[in-house]
């Protein structure tokens, strides 16, 4: 039985970005006490229970707040295909009232509660009782159980047949009248078993009776007897003959084996050795049988295998100046080591080594090319490279993670320098196409006369100087991956029409060619222009605009998310400082105020350039105002700075950024430090300074 057979199916899930109002609606629809929370890929990340929901309401939280801030990430999950027997002990020890059942890919499919476990245990008890009765009925030996007064309480079919009565005639009767010679009374009185008692029952049939007491704690509650008909031993003798024939067959198989094989008992004494092994050792089989393996096999590991009960496979061992592949493994019976086998592979070891090296080389190449596809052939940046703590950017990262799973066309809008290309890279790296190519085309940088051949390639002989065999265009190169059309608003009307056809038909025709070439890529476009206004003015095709604008992501300018300025500044200082061999640990209050006051018309790109410039100056471990460009430094307080006011401004900004980062990271300080672009020790230092817990 598997866990999925007893679980309650999940009737709905939440995402971290869903609101408490969504959770309330789901609780009302499903009547569930807990709802799994999944990420954009449907994988389990937490659980929101009614207790979490009520606690949030009691704390005055708004129903519009995200589930992310109230769910529990310490959710207990078990595999849906796990055996019930393997998880019973685990479920019994769980303190929470319910656990989530997941598929192998991490998707929740059910819930398991303590009530389910209790029902299962009751079913298991009934099943074990039925199973025990089934075993008793299947036994060839008779079984008779009696209570403390000697009355028969249980008898199986075999015992009834031996005693010559039906079960209804036996149950409830005293053993004195049914089996007067059986030692039930003595066993109950003494509490000691009595084995091997030979007596006659029924019509004089000879039997062997083994009687043992039934105990409940320290009290003897009855006795049970196993009755074996002596006539059955004839069948046992026949089985022994069958076993002897099987042994002869095994010996024949061992003799036919090309490999050398030796078998020892639990003491290490040789019990079997095939002809190949004897010839290899230069001994006669009759001379080594019964001898200890250490005296027969030089350097053998059989004593160690017998001691540990674990095998050693494909071990290279030097025997008589040559190296052989040797395997040793134990023989187990009822969980106990009763012997061991050692096998020497008489094969060319160098050939095996060459095959192993070739396999290792192929595996290494696969791993290398897989990594290269993701790094060189794909995008360079991922979601982790987007440094932010502002709510709007945190929400944008969630949207990227969610929409990346589809193949829908994405349009990224925002001012120059906001990081639109970084978002495009992140969409590709988070998508199932991450191992495919990521091809970027800057529509504003390609000359007008080359745009068409750049996008669609050209056929052989298309123009003077054309490469032999032609050249594939960007759409062909990006097939199987993602094509990023940057500055898409700068395309000419003629090229816009061709791009629209390529998107609609999923095929391209090279310049000078006639054969359509199918392509399969995801299109991500970006622009810093107002494309809607361009459509109204007739400078951008309306049909292409709506073809590109399936999913729209807006990257806000830096002035609209000032919480990200200091984390980004620290991130860039750390990056360029490490390249220059510097350890820039902090930003002075005056410099921080200047950074926060400056409007950053060039957005993140301008901030990055400012930090790179500062690193190239005589920068110590702290960024000061005079390290900043004049335009940025002018944002500092004029004249002599007022230390108290500056410190208060920086303190408020840093406290707000740290609090939001900790909230986003769920209290994980390592993750919060990464979001803030500072080291973990520096974060601890600032939290202590500002009294943040």
Residues 581-613: pLDDT tens digits? 778 878 888 899 999 999 999 999 999 999 999
Give pLDDT, residue 29. Answer: 85
Mean pLDDT of 261-276: 85
DSSP code of residue 151: B
Is residue 461's pLDDT more than 70?
no
Q: Where in the chain is the domain with CATH 3.30.450.20?
A: 139-234, 257-347
Give pLDDT, residue 363. Answer: 67
Give pLDDT, residue 644. Answer: 43
CATH number for 560-690: choose from 1.10.8.60, 3.90.245.10, 1.50.10.20, 2.40.50.1070.
1.10.8.60
Radius of gyration of the chain (CA): 40
Q: What is the C-alpha to C-alpha distance for residues 226 and 144, in angstroms, rounded to an integer?
A: 7
Is residue 640's pLDDT more than 50?
no
Is residue 649's pLDDT more than 70?
no
> What confidence category does residue 436 fall into, taking pLDDT thresholds of 50, 70 and 90?
confident
CATH fold of 383-554 reads: Rossmann fold (3.40.50)
Is residue 86's pLDDT more than 80?
no
| Secondary structure element (H or E) that encloses residue 524, with its range | strand 522-527
Are 632 and 643 in contact by the 8 Å Cβ rule? The answer is no
> What confidence category does residue 564 fall into, taking pLDDT thresholds of 50, 70 and 90?
very high
**pTM given for the model:** 0.44
Is residue 565's pLDDT more than 80?
yes
Tell me whether residue 218 is exposed, middle or buried, using C-beta atoms within 10 angstroms of its C-beta: 0 to 12, 13 to 18, 19 or more. exposed
- What is the three-state SS of 397-412? HHHHHHHCCCCCCEEE
Q: 488-507: string of b/e by CB count within 10 Å (b at 16+)?
A: bbbbeeebbebbbebbeeee
Q: What is the C-alpha to C-alpha distance for residues 64 and 57, in angstroms, rounded to an integer?
A: 11
- Count CB-CB contacts under 10 A for residue 313: 10
CATH fold of 139-234 reads: Beta-Lactamase (3.30.450)
Mean pLDDT of 490-502: 86
Q: What is the C-alpha to C-alpha distance for residues 188 and 352, in angstroms, rounded to an integer?
A: 66
Tens-place pLDDT, residues 442-460: 888 777 777 778 888 888 7
> What confidence category does residue 673 fall into, taking pLDDT thresholds of 50, 70 and 90?
confident
Task: Report percent pLDDT > 90 for the chain.
Answer: 20
CATH fold of 3-122 reads: CBS-domain (3.10.580)
Q: Where in the chain is the domain with CATH 3.10.580.10?
A: 3-122
Q: What is the mean pLDDT of the chain?
A: 82
Q: Where in the chain is the domain with CATH 3.40.50.300?
A: 383-554
CATH fold of 257-347 reads: Beta-Lactamase (3.30.450)
């Amino acid at each position: 039985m598997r866990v999925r057979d007893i679980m309650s199916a999940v009737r709905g899930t939440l995402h971290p970005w869903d609101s408490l109002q969504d959770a309330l609606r789901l609780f009302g629809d499903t009547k569930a006490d807990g709802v799994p929370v999944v990420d954009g890929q449907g994988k389990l990340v937490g659980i929101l229970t009614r207790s979490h929901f009520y606690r949030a309401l009691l704390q005055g939280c708004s129903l519009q707040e995200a589930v992310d801030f109230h769910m529990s990430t310490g959710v207990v999950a078990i595999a849906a295909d796990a055996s019930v027997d393997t998880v019973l002990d685990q479920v019994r020890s769980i303190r929470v009232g319910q656990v989530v059942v997941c598929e192998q890919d991490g998707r929740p499919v059910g819930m398991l509660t303590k009530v389910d476990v209790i029902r299962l245990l009751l079913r298991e008890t009934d099943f074990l009782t039925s199973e025990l009765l089934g075993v008793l009925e299947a036994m060839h030996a008779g079984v008779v159980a009696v209570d403390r007064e000697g009355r028969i309480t249980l008898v199986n079919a075999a015992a009834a047949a031996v005693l010559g009565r039906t079960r209804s005639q036996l149950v409830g009767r005293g053993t004195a009248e049914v089996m007067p010679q059986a030692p039930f009374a003595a066993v109950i009185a003494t509490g000691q078993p009595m084995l091997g008692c030979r007596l006659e029952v029924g019509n004089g049939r000879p039997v062997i009776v083994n009687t043992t007491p039934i105990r409940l704690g320290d009290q003897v509650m009855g006795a049970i007897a196993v009755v074996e008909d002596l006539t059955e031993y004839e069948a046992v003798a026949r089985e022994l003959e069958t076993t002897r024939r099987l042994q002869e067959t095994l010996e024949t198989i061992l003799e036919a084996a090309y490999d050398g094989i030796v078998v020892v008992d639990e003491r290490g004494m040789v019990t079997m050795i095939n002809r190949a092994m004897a010839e290899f050792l230069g001994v006669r089989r009759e001379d080594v049988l019964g001898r200890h393996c250490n005296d027969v096999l030089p350097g053998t590991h059989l004593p160690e295998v017998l001691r540990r009960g674990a095998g050693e496979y494909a071990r290279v061992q030097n025997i008589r100046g040559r190296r052989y592949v040797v395997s040793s493994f134990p023989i187990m019976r009822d969980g106990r080591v009763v012997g061991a086998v050692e096998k020497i592979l008489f094969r060319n070891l160098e050939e095996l080594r060459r095959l192993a090296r070739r396999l290792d080389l192929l595996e290494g190449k696969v791993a290398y090319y897989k990594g290269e596809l993701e790094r060189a052939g794909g995008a360079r940046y991922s979601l982790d490279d987007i440094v932010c703590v502002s709510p709007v950017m945190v929400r944008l990262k969630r949207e990227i993670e969610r929409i990346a799973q589809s193949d829908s066309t994405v349009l990224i809008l925002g001012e120059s320098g906001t990081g639109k290309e970084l978002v495009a890279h992140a969409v590709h790296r988070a998508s199932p196409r991450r191992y495919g190519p990521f091809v970027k085309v800057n529509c504003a940088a390609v000359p007008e006369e080359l745009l068409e051949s750049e996008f669609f390639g050209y056929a052989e002989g298309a123009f003077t100087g054309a490469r032999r065999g032609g050249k594939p265009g960007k759409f062909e190169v990006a097939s199987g991956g993602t094509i990023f059309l940057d500055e898409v608003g700068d395309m000419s009307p003629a090229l816009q029409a061709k791009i629209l056809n390529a998107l609609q038909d999923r095929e391209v025709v090279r310049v000078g060619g006639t054969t359509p070439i199918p392509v399969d890529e995801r299109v991500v476009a970006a622009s810093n222009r107002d494309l809607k206004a361009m459509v109204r003015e007739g400078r951008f095709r309306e049909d292409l605009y709506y073809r590109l604008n399936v999913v729209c992501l807006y990257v806000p300018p830096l002035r609209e998310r000032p919480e990200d300025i200091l984390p980004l500044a620290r991130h860039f200082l750390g990056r360029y400082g490490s390249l220059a061999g510097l350890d820039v640990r902090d930003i002075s209050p005056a410099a921080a105020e200047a950074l926060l006051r400056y409007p950053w018309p060039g957005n993140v790109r301008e901030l990055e350039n400012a930090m790179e410039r500062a690193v190239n100056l005589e920068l110590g471990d702290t960024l000061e105002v005079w390290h900043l460009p004049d335009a940025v430094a002018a944002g500092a307080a004029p004249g002599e700075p007022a230390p108290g006011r500056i410190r208060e401004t920086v303190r408020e900004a840093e406290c707000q950024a740290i609090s939001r980062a900790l909230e986003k990271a769920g209290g994980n300080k390592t993750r919060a430090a990464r979001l803030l672009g500072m080291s973990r020790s520096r974060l601890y230092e600032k939290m202590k300074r500002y009294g943040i817990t």
